[in-house]
Structures are given as C-alpha cells and as structure tokens.
Structure 1
Amino acid sequence: MPTPYTALLAQLEALADCELAGECLHIKAQLPHTLKSVDVERPTFGLVLHGSKRITRDHQTVHLKAGDVFLITGRCVVDAFNAPDADNGRYLTMTLHLCDEVLSAARILWAQPLRRDEARVVGLPIATLADSLHHWSQALHRGHYEQARVTLVQIVIWLCRQGYHSLLAPPPQRLADRIHALVAATPARPWQSRDMEDVLNLSGASLRRHLAAEGTSLSQVLLNARMGHALQLLSTTTLPVKTVAARVGYRSTQSFNRQFAARYQLHPADIGNQ
C-alpha cells in the first residue's frame, strides 16, 4: 500500500544504479539471517527500504521496518538480523558510511563543545529527515555531487543538534585501522608481516608491540578486513561464494566458509543472494 514516502523510498532505491552514489551500499538478502559481531568502523546512516531489520549493541536493540531510518553514531560492534518482506520476499537496506570529508566539514561548522558519549544505535522515523533525503538523492541523480555532500553535512549537523555528539568525535588514531585500510583496498593480496613493515616503516617487533598495545594482532586485523569485505560482497552482489572467497584471498572455499562462519556465526550461503 502506498505511503506518503513511497516515492522517496523508490528514489533512494534507484541510487543503486547511480554512479555518484559509490559510498551508498544497497544491502540485499533473500533469506532471513542473523550476523553476529559485525564491526562498524565509522558513523553509519541507513534506511530500510524492504523487509525488516534488528540491530543489537550490548543490551540495546533497535527494531526497524521499511521506511525507518537508523543511525550508528560511531565505531562499535553490533549483531544484525535481516528479514525479507513477507509479501514480496525482498530485503533491501541502504547504508551510508559517513566519510571523513563530510564529518570534518560538519566539525568545522558545528564549532561547539562536544559532549563525550559512547556510540549508540538509534532508530528514527523517516519523516524527520524526508526533505533532506529527497534533496540528497535528487542531487546525486542529477550529477550534483558537491550539492549532495553539502546536504549530508547538514544532516550530520542536524543529528548533532538532536544530541548525537559522538558522530563528530574524532576517532583515535590506531595502527590497526591503517593496516585494515590497506588490506581492505586489496584483500586478495597475500599480505605478510614484512609487507606491512615496509609500508609502515616499522620493524616486525615494533609492529607486533603496537598492535598488542591496541589489543589485537596482525593476523586478527587481516582476518577482520577480509571478512568485512567478504560480508559486503555477499550482501551487495550475487557473486558466487567461491568468487567472493577468491576476491578476499582464499584459494579454498571450504576454508573461507569456516572462517566466515566462525566470524559471524552464519554460513555465507545463508544470506541467500548467490
């Protein structure tokens, strides 16, 4: 049944075919599934277009239906349940990881003290942001990339006015994040410690010491980066699991399946897009 926002939801869904909307991911699924311990690396904004979603962080759970907006205000780990619509069998969510360019511009314009708070998961009715989402998506469809960025900055500032200050909190500078970014850019590369040592100009001992101080290890960062990229491919494309495994550096699909299932407590095929 049409709603006052049916046209807007269709406009946002059509961004899947818009070349300028590269940072906007359309997450699909044909089967209901739960993903455990998903790393959210940066502030993330999204909208459920078809089906329903449930996001849990610690003891906080947000239930979302088609047309609901969600906001994850900073780096955290969440569990996510995604379910297709009972009538049309589709699950589709648009997510946008807010980039450094947008967040930096919003910090400059905010120019006020930021209250220190933890990352939160928030559900918002689409009515609160309908006009802004319309202007943003319309700008992208028309090829006005700079106008779309300005609208995103305005959305971030509005959210801060609602009290979500952690959106603009500068993230701590971590060595693990630099390594994660390197691996995510070329996940199929057989990364070794010596590769990171050369790129980061660190000795092997220093590399291990810095990562240990951050509570992780090189092997764990490599695994998280590859599994995160695999999850994105499995959720946004119809690539076979074997192809996804190869694209993130696994020659053995069986080994990839084991690692993915251990990481997210879900078999790759259970997302249902393949």
Structure 2
Amino acid sequence: MHDYLQELTESAKKTRQVDKPLPFSLYSSITEQHILNAPIMKPLLICVLAGVKQLGKDSEIVCPAGGFVFLSNSPTIDMRNIPVNEEYLAVLIDFEYSDFNQFKRTTNQSKKYFQGNLDYMLAKTLQQYMEWSTYSHPAAWHFRKKELLQIIYQCGYDDVGVIAEHPSLSHQLQDLISEDISGDWSVDRVTAKVALSESTLRRKLKAEGTDIHAIINRTRLGHALHLVQTTMDPIGRIAERCGYSSQSRFTDKFKQLFGITPSELRKTRTNRDET
C-alpha cells in the first residue's frame, strides 16, 4: 500500500473516536457481508481502504482497496463487503443533487456508476476532508463536498458531471420521510406534504414502479441499515428510532428486504452479541 493510502486509512480509523455527527460514514466488517437491495437514496461515493467491495446481482462491479466507485441515486443494489487479511473498511459520502449544479450537463442521460483509483491527490483531499469535518461547523460541510466533486472532475473523471439522476417523486418522498424517520407517515400525511391527491400520488408512483408504503418501508429500513453498520446501538433501539414499535416485526421486514437480519449483520462487524 502507498504511504498516502496508509495515512488515509489511519486518519479514517481515528474518526471512529469522534462522538458527533460527521458528513461521511465509515463502514467496516471482520467477516463477509452480503446485503441485498441496499437503497442508494442519494449519489454515493464509496472509497475502499481495505478489503474488496462487490456490487450487482452477479458482482459485476468490483472495487478493491485503493479504489473508489461512485453510484448514482438508483433505487437499490446488491453488495458484498469482503475483508482481506484483517477487515473491510470503506468511507462513504453521499451528495445532494444540487451539489452537481456546478457541472454543465451535455446529455439528459445519467451514468449508473463509474470507478477510479485513489491517487495521491484524491487520497489527500479525502483525508483533509475527513479531518476538517471533525472540527468544522456543519453549515460549511456542503461547500467542501462540492469541492471534493470538483477535485474528482479535475482528476479526469468527467462522469462525475452526469452521475446524479434528477430526483424523482420517489426520491423527494424519501427525503421528506428521512426528516422524521420515526414519525407516523400515513397516506394522508404524505399527500398533504406534497400537495397531491391520493389518486394522483398513487398514479405517479405507479409510473415509477413503486408505491407509498414501499417508499416508507425502504426509507426506514435504509436508515436502519446505516445504523446497524455504523453504531453499536441495541437492535431494539434502532427499530424504535426507525418507527417500528415491534422489534420482531422490524427484524422480519429487515430480513425480507436485505436478506439478512440486523443481528446477523451486526455479528459481521464484531464478535459481541447484540440484541
């Protein structure tokens, strides 16, 4: 491993000790994780620092340590996180659609993903971004995110300009629900928030291949997946935070979508038993 990648990895590990929200996530595992239908609600940059990440139903996308993959805000994707020697370790940063306004689009078509390598410039930029985030004010985070996108572009990855799909109605509803993830999201509340009749909303969502309840469920479970991967909160507490009054119902819904229970996924991160 290059020295600058080792420095980046050590810097990332230090952020585990930071007890405050940060504009990135650190995912790790000591045994292989296989997660089905992982929701990608916003354009997502995944930088693999250790191990290998595989994406797609047939693992057609392979990203080894020292590489990155940038995913469009597509609905879902299957993924495997594979430790090599020690652990799997990756930094994840999601972006708002507006962050990409700095790029002039020459086509209406979006890329589903693109890949690249963490060269010296990208690695140092990412390291500085993570270190700066630990003490900076949250109001300034989006400026550095836009700068990170510009650095990726300047490193020759033109596809960053077309990686973000225009937010669909489904994406807009996911953002809305995410603002109150544990709230009571009845159909009436959703229609009132988006100022659409129930019939119009259902028709528009059907055209996108989904429905209100599926979006609510996917948004809540997507947040739950993030909490299982990044915290050591008890599973029951995660269920409650994501709007589920019954832990057993939450576990059933989680396994139905992702193909693994929260407790099984937690065990890939640690040898401790968590309930």
Match of 1:188 in 2: 182
Corresponding position of 2:56: 56
The residue identity in structure 1 corresponding to 2:81 is N
Is the Cα contact below 8 Å between 1:188 and 1:250 reproduced in 2? Answer: yes
Q: How far has the Cα of 1:146 moved from its partner?
A: 8.2
Q: Does 2:66 align with 1:72?
A: no
Aligned to 1:95: 92
Helix, strand or coil for the counterpart of 2:178? helix
Deviations 1:4-26 (A, max 9, x none): 43222212333345578622011
Aligned-pair distance for 1:118?
Answer: 2.8
Root-mean-square deviation (CA, aligned residues, Å) is: 3.0
Deviation at 1:96, TM superposition (A): 0.3
The residue identity in structure 2 corresponding to 1:12 is A
Q: Counterpart of 2:129?
A: 136
Quickly say closer, same or farther: Cα 1:198–1:27, change in 2 above 3 A. Answer: same
Whether 1:7 aligns to 2:35 is no
1:121 positional shift? 4.3
Distance 1:175 1:265, change over 3 A: same
SS in 1 for 2:264: helix
Q: 1:155 to 1:219 in 2, by over 3 A?
A: same
TM-score by length of 1: 0.82
Partners of 1:15 and 1:120 in 2: how far apart? 27
C-alpha distance in 1, partners of 2:183/2:257?
20
Q: What residue in structure 1 maps to residue 235 of structure 2?
A: 241
Q: Structure 1 pair 5/59, CA: closer, same or farther in 2 (3 Å)? A: closer
Alignment of 1:1-274 (within 5 A): 3-18=3-18, 22-56=22-56, 60-65=60-65, 67-87=66-86, 90-104=87-101, 106-107=102-103, 111=104, 113-114=106-107, 116-127=109-120, 129-141=122-134, 143=136, 152-160=145-153, 162-165=156-159, 167-168=161-162, 171-271=165-265, 272=267, 273=269, 274=274
How many residues align structurally? 267
Distance 2:34 2:3 in 1: 28
CA shift at 1:52, angstroms? 3.2
The alpha-carbon distance between structure 1 residues 43 and 178, as it changes in their structure 2 partners (threshold 3 A), is closer
- Change in CA separation of 1:141 and 1:269 when aligned onto 2, cut-off 3 Å: closer
Residues in 2 aligned to 1:203 and 1:145: alpha-carbon distance in whole angstroms: 36
Partners in 2 of 1:157 and 1:135 — Cα distance? Answer: 15
Amino acid at match of 1:64: P
1:74 Cα shift? 4.3
Structure 1, 67-76 or 14-23: larger mean CA deviation: 14-23
* 1:148–1:14 Cα change, 3 Å: farther
Q: In the TM superposition, what whole-angstrom CA distance separates every residue of 1:208-228 from its partner, at most 9, and x where no partner exists?
A: 122112221111111111110
Q: 1:200, CA displacement in angstroms?
A: 1.8
Ranges in structure 2 where 5+ consecutive residues have no aligned partner: none
> SS of the residue aligned with 2:36?
strand
- In structure 1, list runs of 5 or more residues that go unmatched: none
